Structure 1
């Protein structure tokens, strides 16, 4: 029976809880490299690189390296309504992305448009849906008003009433 050499053994995993990034890091890098993203930071920190407004309107899709090797083309997915604004910002986006890479890796930016809801199954959503406030039933409103009824200051009374509504509505879950 042959004993495996140290280099042939699979890497030993840590015991207990592990960070998700350490478990998925290799897989994310492999998928990113298939799409041309040698630096996955462009995908994971897109909003920090290009800014919140641009990140809400566009997503990086692919980096394609040409045959001459004089820079790559970054393909960005956006909606038709946002495309003209992004077209004017292409040079600023290119500069910010190249600052992320640390050198002039991207020479061109190509915009690809899709419907506002994304592809066939609605997979490409650009901005998170705004949170809908839940309706508070009249009984909870009345009980919250009872808690703050003795307070003379209007601002403080309304703040206490809002606090009581939040606490009472969470208890019902």
Structure 2
């Protein structure tokens, strides 16, 4: 499943404050999701990688590290990323703006899939030890290089823990029930 489908659904969910509308968009998303990745889509929609009961570490990407990744992917200096962040108040929106006008587009970008994004985020979460910070920055920048501006917005929000969709756990459960009954 293309990550752009998920990003589009996130955008529609974010644009409404009505719980029933959110649920409608979630149900549509879940019905369009292949069964083998439904868990990944649910976790990403909640802004996490794993269920809470596993007690596994989350991503651990601070704003400063995300800024370095955005800088690397966009070709803009970190100071420009910081300026856009201060102006917009949201690092995801700053990434969207900066990547929309990136200096060069990679010639061999591959469309992002939910599976690839999830696998890369999982790798970021599990990367530890010496040099792990630089490795995390490079992994995230690699995703951003292939991402559309809208996809980058939501990837950054997921990794920084600021997805802000307004979707509660019960809304997700209700949407699952509606989608599969």
TM-score (normalised: structure 1): 0.27
- Which structure shows the higher helix fraction? 2
Q: Considering Cα pairs closer than 8 Å and 6+ residues apart, tell me whether 1 or 2 has the greater RCO.
A: 2
TM-score (normalised: structure 2): 0.26
Higher Cα Rg: structure 1 or 2?
1
